[in-house]
Amino acid sequence: ATKYKPFPPINLPNRKWPSRVITKAPRWLATDLRDGNQSLPDPMNFQEKKEYFDLLCKVGYKEIEVAFPSASQIDFDFTRYAVENAPADVAIQVLSPCREALIRRTIESLKGAKKAIVHIYLAASPLFRDVVFNTSEEQYLSMATKSAKLVRELTKDNPDAQDTQWQFEFSPETFSDTPLDFSLRVCEEVKKAWEPTVENPIIFNLPATVEMSTPNVFADQVEYISTNISEREKVCISLHCHNDRGCAVAASELGQMAGADRIEGCLFGNGERTGNVDLVTLGLNLFTQGIDPKIDFSNLEKMVEVSERLNKIPVHPRSPYGGSLVVCAFSGSHQDAIKKGFARRNNAADPDSLPWQIPYLPLDPGDVGRTYEAVIRVNSQSGKGGAAWIILRKLELDLPRGLQVNFSKHVQDEAEFKDRELLSDEITDLFERKYFLAEENKYPY
C-alpha cells in the first residue's frame, strides 16, 4: 500500500494538519453471519453460511460473529461447525441477550472452541428501557452485571472450560441514543463484574444501533467513553455503526480517531435496515491511504460474487470499490485524462516505484484483481480516446490522431444505432470491418 499517499499536501503554517488521522488498521469483527444474516429476506442456509464463513477466514478476518445460537437450531448447529472448523487463529463470536437460559445455551454452543468471544447485549437508552423493557437504571445495571458474572462463571472461571481462550464483549445496545453518564456507569459496573486484564481486555461495543446524529457527535460520544473509562488498558473499545443516515463509514472512521480499537461490520454494508458499516469500504479506505488493512482484497470480484449469491442481494454498481461501475469511465474527458495518466506511468523507467496517480482513479484496479480493460468503456458519450484505448489494448495498434477522430465517428454512430454501450469485441469488430474489410474504406483518411 506504500504506493498510496495518506493525504494531499497542504501548506498551513503554524497549524497541525490534518488534526487527526488513522494510523493503523483496527481489530475487525465481521458480523455478516449474524447481523447481516438476520436482516436478509431469505437467510442463508447451513451450506451457504459455511461458504461465507470460509470466505471471511480466507480474506483474513480473525474475529467472526457467526450466529445467535439461542435463537434457532440452525444457528446453534452452525456455531458448532465454526467451532470445529475455524482456523486456530480465528475467534468465534456469538451473540446472546442478557437472559440466563439463553446465555447458558449460547455458551454450550461454544464448547471446545480454541478462541471464543461471548457477546451479550442489553438496550440502554431511555426509549428502550421505558417503552420496550420497562426497567429502571438500577434494574438495568443489575441485569447487565448478573449476566456478566454468569458468563464469567461459565467460561473463564469454569475449570471444565479452560481449553478455550475466552473473551467477553458487552454491548449497551442503542448506545448512540443513551445519556453518556449512564453508558459510562454501565461499562464501569460490567467491567467490575468481569475483571478484565491487560492481556485479555473486556470488549465494550458501542453500537449506533440506529444512527442518530452527524458522525462527529457519535465520535464525541466514543471519545467520552474512551477517555473516561477507568483502567483503559484493560478495555477494547469496539464500534458497531448502522447506516441509517448514510454516515456509518464516516462515523466509524471518526470513531477510530476518537479512540476506538475495533470495528464491527459486514461486507458491502449488509445488515439491519440500511445496513451495518461496510467493511470493504473501511478496509480499502485505509489501503488507499497507504495503511495495510490486514485484509486481502486482491480478489474483490470474488468477494462481490459470494456476497451477492449468498445474501441474494446485489452489490450496487456504484458501491465504493466493489461496484461494477466504479472503475469505469464513459465520458470523453475522463477517458482522455485516464489515458494520459496511464501513458505517463507506462513511459516511466520504473512504474511500480511511482505513487499511484491516475486521474479519476483513486485505486489501482490491479490491486483488487480487476483488469485495466474495464477502466474505459465506450458508449455514445465517449470521445476518440476511449475507442483508441480499446484498439491499443486489444489489437496493440496505437492509432494516429487522424484515425482516432475518424474511427470515433463510426463508434458514435454504432452506439447511437444500438442505443447502448459497445462491448470491446464490438469495437474491434467495427474497426476491422471499417478499415480492413470494407472496400470503400481502403483509404480511410
Nearer to Zn ion, 238 or 335 (CB): 238
Judged by phi (left if over 0) then psi (alpha if -120 to 50, else beta), residue 273 lies in left
Nearer to ligand KIV, 209 or 404 (CB): 209
Residues that bind ligand KIV (CB under 6 A): 35, 95, 121, 171, 173, 205, 207, 209, 240, 242
Nearer to ligand KIV, 164 or 209 (CB): 209
Going through 101-142 in order, the beta strands assigned E by DSSP cover: 115-123
Grid cell in block for residue 175: 448506545
d(CA 50, CA 41): 19
Query: What is the closest distance, in whole angstroms, from the C-beta atom of residue 35 to ligand KIV in the complex?
Result: 5
Residue pointed to by grid coordinates 463484574: 193
Nearer to ligand KIV, 205 or 382 (CB): 205
Contacted by 173, from ligand KIV, Zn ion, none: CB < 5 to 8 Å by type: ligand KIV
**Whether 336 contacts 408, CB under 8 Å:** no
Query: What is the closest distance, in whole angstroms, from the C-beta atom of residue 261 to ligand KIV in the complex?
Result: 16
Contacted by 39, from ligand KIV, Zn ion, none: CB < 5 to 8 Å by type: none
Query: What is the closest distance, in whole angstroms, from the C-beta atom of residue 149 to ligand KIV in the complex?
Result: 20
Cα angle for residues 227, 228, 230 (degrees, 5° grid): 110
Query: What is the closest distance, in whole angstroms, from the C-beta atom of residue 171 to ligand KIV in the complex?
Result: 4
Query: What is the closest distance, in whole angstroms, from the C-beta atom of residue 428 to ligand KIV in the complex?
Result: 50
Contacts of residue 230, defined as CB under 8 A and 6 or more positions apart, other chains included, come to: 188, 191
Nearer to Zn ion, 154 or 208 (CB): 208
Query: What is the closest distance, in whole angstroms, from the C-beta atom of residue 95 to ligand KIV in the complex?
Result: 6
Question: How far is the CA of 408 from the CAs of 372, 378, 387, in angstroms?
Answer: 20, 10, 7
Report which residue's Cβ sits closest to Zn ion: 35
Contacted by 384, from ligand KIV, Zn ion, none: CB < 5 to 8 Å by type: none
Nearer to ligand KIV, 121 or 431 (CB): 121
**Whether 90 contacts 83, CB under 8 Å:** no
DSSP state of 421: P
Contacted by 172, from Zn ion, ligand KIV, none: CB < 5 to 8 Å by type: none
- Would you report the helix, strand and coil content of the chain in percent, each value rounded to 5? 50, 15, 40
Residues that bind Zn ion (CB under 5 A): 35
